[in-house]
Structure 1
Amino acid sequence: MFEIKSGDKILSLTSPVVMAIINVTPDSFSDGGQHATVKQACEHADKVIAEGALIVDIGGESTRPGADTVSVDQELSRVIPVIEYVAKNHDVWISIDTSKPEVMEKAVAAGAHIINDVRALQEPGAVAMATSLDVPVCLMHMQGQPKDMQDSPEYENVMDQVSEFLSLRLDYCVAAGMPRENIILDPGFGFGKTLEHNYELLAKLPELHSLHLPVLVGLSRKSMIGDLLQRSVDERLAGSLAGAMIAAQQGAQILRVHDVKETVDALTVMSATMASLHQ
């Protein structure tokens, strides 16, 4: 049984939980601009928490393919007011989606409980900062950087290489003083992977459990859904739900999604079915 702790807060991961995406950016691939102002992002947080999200993942820099970087000050100006609002008004877990040590520090001070880093704490100073903050950290696999990650991703064996990378980052963080129980793993769907790579990862997801840590999966509305089904971003709900349910059945503990209400409903049906098996 897995759980994560941050200060006095404890979140059981015995059943899959939903992490809601809140992009305070003008250029995210799915909802760029929809929640770009602090007011819009706060209103969206109210909505997804009411729909059943137990974690809200707040990000101020797009990591879509081809995305440009933003400055520390720009990122802080986007995310800190939203974190402060959610911390003041809701009893929910708050995740900061960032790779910058300065943003990690100020986000946790503002009320964030989790660091979600697509670069797996590889930026200078990130491991030391995350270790000092003593909160759960999600380490994600990405081949390349957002600017170029989809140019021509190649693997000899995608799951073996993703697992090896995450295992090495895990060892590095633990050696730096981070408690092992603070670490969550994310195979990084869509981050330097072809369509075939993504579905191979989804099929072989149970292999990541050999590291005995919680697994986070984020494939909501991504190109692995759109390219397979030939659907635009706003037509990917059914595919995203199918992917989320497969990930949950494959043992993922945290599902990072755009469509919270629908995912919570699907998980509820799945959980009721599984519970009946054990009666």
Structure 2
Amino acid sequence: MIKYDLHCHSTASDGILSPTEVVLRAHEKGVNVLALTDHDTVAGVPEARKHAEALGIQLINGVELSTLWEGHSIHIVGLGFDLSHEKMTALLAEQANLRDSRAQEIGAKLAKAGVANAYEEAKKLAGEGEVTRAHYARHLVQIGKVANDGQAFKRYLGQGKSAYVKPQWVDIPSAIKIIHAAGGVAVLAHPLRYTMTTKWVRKLAENFKAWGGDAMEISGCGQSRDQYQLLVKLAEEHQLAGSMGSDFHFPCAWVELGKLAPLPAHIPLVLEIKNDLV
């Protein structure tokens, strides 16, 4: 049986492992088809591809785009697109600018809250990747301001907290159009992980399909059976293909590359709706 993982992260965004290390771990865990989907960047894909090919892993070009919908930050995974497509390149450059501006503003707010040089320290943690709130959370843990990343968001970085900065991302229809223009497929990432009711999740899925979305993530790590069944039902209702992704960021007990339940037989895998991906 082929083992898929179509959503994971590396040091190119907010992951802990380098693209090479992600691929090596995926191989160790028996993954056959992998997509590296860093936040708003494809910088890690060439490195990952080199090592994936050597290990016999099929690597799918991927990215996780940050978008805005009804005041919520929603993630759309793009798969199988041309990395050098003009519209995608322009979007990622714009998203990078927005991300850095937001990161600097977060740093300024943390300085007012008594945490000096936070942007510079977060940038060190990010290395060559883009600075995210996850890097700020790690820094706050390192300097003893909080005990863990969760507390960092509850006390400083979460919505309504002292260092929160409202994002200014692309809208979902534009993200879908650009993914399609670049030859890829658009996937609604982890639909049940947003802070909204089931009624709003249904509305999100309905809008996503109406705007041309192709699939939604059904199989993820740490799901209950009821959550899995709800996602299957939503995919059926809106005639969306299914995807499988761990959303792996770092080694831990509850999120692991390839540790995913198979899709139901009647739900097509997102890769099957694009002939050149399988």
TM-score over 0.5 for the alignment? Answer: no
TM-score computed with the length of structure 1 as normaliser: 0.44
Give the TM-score of the pair, scaled to structure 2: 0.44
